[in-house]
C-alpha cells in the first residue's frame, strides 16, 4: 500500500483495544507488546499492511477478555520496531486514518479484527492546516492545566511546535478520561478538536484539574 493512498486502505484490520490510549492521524504512539495474542497480531501485521487499529473499550470497567468497543478508532502504521531480550516487541505506530467499525470478525490467534469503514475520514490522510488552531487561547489554558497537574515541560519547545502537532500531541498525552479521549478522536476536524481541547483545559482550570464531567 502506498503511503497516503486512501483507496488502498485494507478491508480487514487487526485492532488493539486499550482503555485511555489514543492514536490520532499524524501522531506517534509507542507501545510495549507482551501479551501472546498481541505478539501474534504484530507478527501477522508486519507480514501484511503493517497497520494496527487502536480503539478503546466502550466501558472502562468491563474486565472481560474481549469487551465491547467504541465504534471509532484510528489505524496506525508500524513505523518503528524492536525486539527485547525477553521476546517482547517495542513498536511505534504513526497515525494514518480513523475508521468506523462496520462489523467485528472472528478472532485470529486470540486477537481481534474488524471490517473498517474508512469513508467518513478520507481527509485524515491530508496534512491539516495549523492556522485553524487558536493558539492564543490554547497556550494560556495549557499553562494553567500543566500547573494544576504539577507537570513540568520545556515551554520553549512547546512554543516551537506546529499548532496541528501540538493539538495532536496534547490529545494523546494529557491524562484525560477515556470518554474525553474518545470525544477528541471523534472530533470531525482539527479545528473542532482544538476547540474541544480548549474546553477541556478550561474546565480543568476551573475544577482544579478534573475534567471527568466535561464529556458524557
Per-residue pLDDT tens digits for 100-147: 999 999 999 999 999 999 999 999 998 889 999 999 999 999 998 888
Q: Is pLDDT above 60 for 189?
A: yes
Using H for helix, E for strand and C for coil, what is the string for the chain?
A: CCCCCHHHCCCCEEEEECCCCCCCCCCEEEEEECCHHHHHHHHHHHCCCCEEEEECECCCCCCCCCCCECCEEEEEEEEEEEECCCCCEEEEEEEEEEEEEEEECCCECCEEEEEEECHHHHHHHCCCCHHHCCHHHHHHHHHHHHHHCCCCCCHHHHHHCCHHHHHHHHHHHCCCCHHHHHHHHHCCCHHHHHHHHHHHHHHHHHCCCCCCCCCC
Q: What is the pLDDT of residue 208?
A: 58
**Domain regions of the chain by residue span:** 6-125, 130-206
What percent of the chain clears pLDDT 90, i.e. is strictly above it?
Answer: 78
pLDDT range class, residue 2, cuts 50, 70, 90: very low
pTM (two decimals): 0.90
CATH 1.10.760.10 fits 6-125, yes or no: no
Amino acid at each position: 500500500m502506498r503511503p497516503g493512498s486512501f483507496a488502498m486502505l485494507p478491508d480487514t484490520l487487526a485492532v488493539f483495544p486499550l482503555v485511555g490510549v489514543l492514536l490520532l492521524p499524524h501522531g506517534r504512539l509507542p507501545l510495549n507488546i507482551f501479551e501472546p495474542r498481541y505478539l501474534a497480531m504484530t507478527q501477522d501485521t508486519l507480514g501484511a499492511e503493517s497497520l494496527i487499529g487502536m480503539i478503546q473499550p466502550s466501558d472502562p470497567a468491563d474486565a472481560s477478555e474481549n469487551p465491547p468497543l467504541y465504534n471509532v478508532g484510528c489505524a496506525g502504521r508500524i513505523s518503528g520496531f524492536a525486539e527485547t531480550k525477553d521476546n517482547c516487541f517495542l513498536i511505534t505506530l504513526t497515525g494514518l486514518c480513523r475508521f468506523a467499525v462496520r462489523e467485528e470478525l472472528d478472532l485470529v490467534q486470540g486477537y481481534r479484527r474488524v471490517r473498517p469503514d474508512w469513508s467518513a475520514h478520507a481527509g485524515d490522510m491530508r496534512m491539516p492546516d495549523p492556522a485553524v488552531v487558536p493558539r492564543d487561547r490554547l497556550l494560556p489554558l495549557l499553562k494553567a492545566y500543566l500547573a494544576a497537574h504539577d507537570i513540568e515541560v520545556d515551554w520553549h519547545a512547546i512554543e516551537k511546535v506546529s499548532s496541528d502537532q501540538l493539538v495532536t500531541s496534547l490529545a494523546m498525552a494529557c491524562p484525560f478520561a477515556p470518554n474525553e479521549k474518545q470525544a477528541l478522536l471523534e472530533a470531525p476536524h482539527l479545528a473542532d478538536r482544538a476547540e474541544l481541547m480548549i474546553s477541556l483545559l478550561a474546565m480543568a482550570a476551573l475544577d482544579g484539574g478534573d475534567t471527568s464531567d466535561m464529556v458524557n
